[in-house]
Amino acid sequence: MARYLITGGCGFVGSNLADSLLRDKHEVVVFDNLSRKGTEKNLNWLETNHQGKFRFIKGDIRDFPALQKAVDGPFDAVYHTAGQVAVTTSVTNPREDFEINALGTFNVLEAIRLAKIDPVVIFTSTNKVYGGMEDVKVIERNGRYDYETLPDGADESRPLDFHSPYGCSKGTADQYVRDYARIYGMKTVVFRMSCQYGIRQFGNEDQGWVVHFVIAAHFGKTINIYGDGKQVRDMLFIEDLVRAFRMATARIDDIKGEIFNIGGGPDNVMSLLELVAHMEKVTGRKIELKFGPWRPGDQPVFITNVAKAKARFGWAPTISKTDGVERLYRWVAANEPLFDHMR
């Protein structure tokens, strides 16, 4: 049995990680300030399924003394998933975004360093650290945007080019996590993640677009499209992401200090309009759309090249985009009371 600390452990990624570890009888400490919608529901879900088998600490990563208390004692791994997750929110309130993502991550690293413990540390970064990738020509192909080159997607050799306050704050954190491996010998790994989706996600149009579209489609709501809807993302189902955390942890001696692009890859790509069309087939009804202007920092295309993760620790996505979306839809349909506030 191993011991894990998960910051943001009641969020979408964190709660699924906690559930996976608890099912395998590991000891888990969940650290979360419960500020995001859906986190209390995820905490209740964890408590229902794993009553008395994990420790919950209500705390904020901006609170350094609280983090120091949380990391007291040995941990095999710290999964740092807490953060401010929306580009739009970062534009509205850049100071809060910086304090959560940049300073909060620094606090996590310092708390671990000063505690003189030696856990694996995996940080959830973002593809936004690559910016707009203006050097790669984007073309329209088959009704959606695509790279003219890069058939396998963007890899880790792409230059950093932080766009938006969110990209800057996450990029700062990304580099601190890498440097703590170089300077202090910490066993860190950075996951630069693309679009993740799946059960226990309570997304909105600012963040979590896949589940937002699925929820809206189920309840017959209008979907707002910012831009022309031809923007493309690769999509990664949550179970595959949880596997990536666990496989990277098991191979830490081979990959510490490394960065990995983690996403669905070129086989799991959809545009916004393609997901709408797919949900119309799934639900059997037309979805009303409302179009608005492009949002700041929105990339027309991002497709993840996952070859490095496969080569270095044996991970690759296994759940197809259609299977994943339909599993998510069935979960939403079976749990309507969880979404009463979104109707």
Under DSSP, the state recorded for 319 is: S
Please, which pLDDT band fits residue 341 given cuts at 50, 70 and 90? low
Instruction: Note down the domain range covering 224.
Output: 3-342
Tell me the pLDDT tens digit for each residue of 277-325: 999 999 999 999 999 999 877 889 999 999 999 999 999 999 999 999 9
Query: CB within 8 A of 181, min separation 6: which ones?
Result: 187, 188, 256, 257
DSSP 45-71: HHHHHSTTSEEEEE--TT-HHHHHHHT
Residue 37 confidence (pLDDT): 86
- Residue 45 pLDDT: 97
Q: Which residues pair with 233 in a beta bridge?
A: 270, 302
Amino acid at 205: E
What's the confidence (pLDDT) of residue 207? 76
CA distance 277 to 178: 40
Active-site residue, from 79, 166, 176, 180: 166
CATH number at residue 158: 3.40.50.720
Q: Provide the number of structural domains found in the chain.
A: 1
Q: Tell me the pLDDT band of 205, cut-offs 50, 70 and 90.
A: low
Q: Is pTM beyond 0.85 here? A: yes
166 is catalytic: yes
